[in-house]
Amino acid sequence: MSSFVDRAQLHAKAGDGGAGSVSFRREAHVPEGGPDGGDGGFGGDVWLEADRNTASLLGFRDHPHRAATSGDHGMGKKRHGASGKHITVKVPVGTVVSTLEGEQLVDLVSHGDRFRIAEGGKGGHGNAKFLSNSRRAPAFAEQGEHGEERWCNLELKLMADVALVGFPNVGKSTLISSVSAAKPKIANYPFTTLEPHLGVVRWPLHGTPKAEFVMADIPGLIEGAAEGKGLGLEFLRHIERARVLLFLLDLGEEAPESPSRQLEVLRQELGQYLPELLERPSLVVGSKADLAFEEDYEDAPIAFAISGATHQGLDQLLSSLATLVDSARVIEAERDADHQIVIHRPVAEQASAEPDGHGGWLLVGRQAERAVGLSDLSNPAAMDEVVRRLEKLGIDRLLVRAGAKDGDEVTIGSFSFTWYRAGSTAAIDAAMDVERRSRRKTRKERST
C-alpha cells in the first residue's frame, strides 16, 4: 500500500451554536421578574494549518471527516452556554484547497499558514437580550446557528529544492538513492516510480556537510505528458514549486531518444504545462555514463555526465546544485522578507436571492437565516423582530433587484411568507383583505 497520498477529500463540519434560553426571574419577593434567559455558546471552527512535519495527505484517504464540537444552550439566571472547541487539521506545506467544482479556495504555501474551512455557528441570544421599553416580557429567544458543513478537495504540490526531470527509466531513482537516504523502487523498466519521493541531500557526501537541500524524484515524463499521456498530469504539479530543475538525459544505448531530443521533449512538456518553469534555474546532465563511451555523447547538450550506480560525477553534480539552490534561496528570501503567517477567515455571505423554480424566491445566506431563527414565530413580538431584522438587511431592495413582484412567495430556511414591497398599494390591499376576513370570521363565530 502506498504511504504517499497527494490527493484527498475533506469533509469539515463546524459546531452548531447553542440555543438561547427563555426564562424569567422567579424569586419570592419579585412577583413579576424580568427575562433572564442566557445566550447559547458558539460552535467550534474547523481550521486547516500548513505543517512542515506532515508529509502527505495519507490521513485523509480513509478518514476524511473532521468535526468541531457544538456550543451548549443558554440557561436561566443569564447563564451563557459554553462555546464548542475549535479543531486544527494539519496538512502538508504546499496543500491547495478547492471546492468539489474545482474553484481554488486557498494555497497554503508556508509553514503556519491557516485557513478556516468551516465556521462554527453563532450562539442564539436568550430572551434577556430582547428586553426593551416596548417589550417588557419577551417570551421568545434565538435559535443557535448551524455550523458550516462542506466537502473540499485537497491537493499537495511538493515543496522541494531540486526536482529531477527526465524520461522514464533514466536513472532518477538510482541517483536520489545514491545521494540521500530515500529508498525508491528501482527496476529496469519504464514507470518504475509511481509516486514522488523526497530525499535530504548533504554535500559533500562524506565529512562535514557544507550544504543541505531537498531533492524530489518525480515519475518520468514522456512526450504528451502535459496532455495527460503516461503519468504526466498526475505528477507535473510537483515540479511547480521546485527552486531548481535537474534535467537528466539518458546516455545509454537503450535510450528511447537522443539526448538532444530528450531535452527538447522535456522542455516542451514543461512549457506547455506551466511556461514559467522554463525560466527556473536548471542544470542539464547526462545519466548512465557507465553505460556509454565518452565520445558517444561529446555533442550532447549537457554540462557533464554522471552515473548513480558508480557514483561518477556525483560530487561535481551536488556542488553545482548546492550553488544553484543557495542562489535561489537568497532571491526567494529577499522576495519574502516581509512575509508573515497568513490567516484566512472567509467572510460569510450576507444574503442573496435566487429563484426557487416554482415562481417564488429563496433567500440564502447565514445572515438571512439568522434573521428568522427565533424560537417562536407564532409570537407577535417575535414576528416584529423578524420584520425589523429583514428590513435592516435590505431584503426589499435585494428582492426588487432580483426581479421579485408583489405577492411572490419567499422562503428563508423553513420560514415562508408572501412578500410585498414596503408601502406598496398591493401591500395595503392585502393587509385590508386580511382584516376583512378576520372580521367576517369573528362575526360568524359570534352568530354561532
pLDDT band at 423 (very low <50, low <70, confident <90, very high): low
Peptide bond into 64 cis (omega under 30): no
- What per-residue confidence (pLDDT) applies to 29? 75
**Mean pLDDT score across all residues of the chain:** 83
- What per-residue confidence (pLDDT) applies to 149? 94
- What per-residue confidence (pLDDT) applies to 274? 84
CATH of domain 162-335: 3.40.50.300
DSSP state of 380: H
Spans of all domains in the chain = 7-156, 162-335, 352-447
Mean pLDDT calculated for residue range 128-138: 89
The C-alpha cell at 203 is: 554535500
The residues facing 91 across adjacent strands are: 50
CB 269 within 8 A of CB 223: yes
CB 259 within 8 A of CB 301: yes
Sheet with strand 104-108: strands edge to edge: 65-67, 7-13, 149-156, 95-98, 104-108
Q: Is the pLDDT of residue 347 over 70?
A: no
Q: Is the pLDDT of residue 371 over 90?
A: no
Beta strand segments in 148-289, E: 149-156, 162-166, 197-203, 211-217, 244-250, 282-287
- What per-residue confidence (pLDDT) applies to 237? 75
- What per-residue confidence (pLDDT) applies to 367? 84
Q: Is the pLDDT of residue 325 over 50?
A: yes
Query: Could you read off the pLDDT of 92-131 as tens digits, one per residue?
Result: 888 999 999 989 999 898 888 999 999 999 999 999 999 9
Mean pLDDT calculated for residue range 57-77: 93
Query: Could you read off the pLDDT of 161-175 as tens digits, one per residue?
Result: 898 988 888 888 889
pLDDT band at 159 (very low <50, low <70, confident <90, very high): confident
Query: Could you read off the pLDDT of 263-317 as tens digits, one per residue?
Result: 998 898 888 888 899 999 999 999 988 888 888 788 889 999 999 889 899 999 9
- What per-residue confidence (pLDDT) applies to 443? 63
Mean pLDDT calculated for residue range 66-88: 96
pLDDT band at 71 (very low <50, low <70, confident <90, very high): very high
CATH of domain 7-156: 2.70.210.12
Q: Is the pLDDT of residue 430 over 60?
A: no
Q: How would CATH label the architecture of 352-447?
A: 2-Layer Sandwich (3.30)
Query: Which segment of 237-246, 340-349, 410-419 scores lowest on mean pLDDT?
Result: 340-349
Q: Is the pLDDT of residue 349 over 50?
A: yes
pLDDT band at 441 (very low <50, low <70, confident <90, very high): low
List all residues 6 or more positions away from 101 whose beta carbon is below 8 Å from its beta carbon. Answer: none
pLDDT band at 62 (very low <50, low <70, confident <90, very high): confident
pLDDT band at 23 (very low <50, low <70, confident <90, very high): very high
- pLDDT, greater one: 182 or 51: 51
Query: Which range is most confident: 113-117, 133-137, 209-213?
Result: 113-117
pLDDT band at 192 (very low <50, low <70, confident <90, very high): very low
- What per-residue confidence (pLDDT) applies to 232? 46
CB 100 within 8 A of CB 151: yes
Beta strand segments in 119-231, E: 149-156, 162-166, 197-203, 211-217
- What per-residue confidence (pLDDT) applies to 119? 94
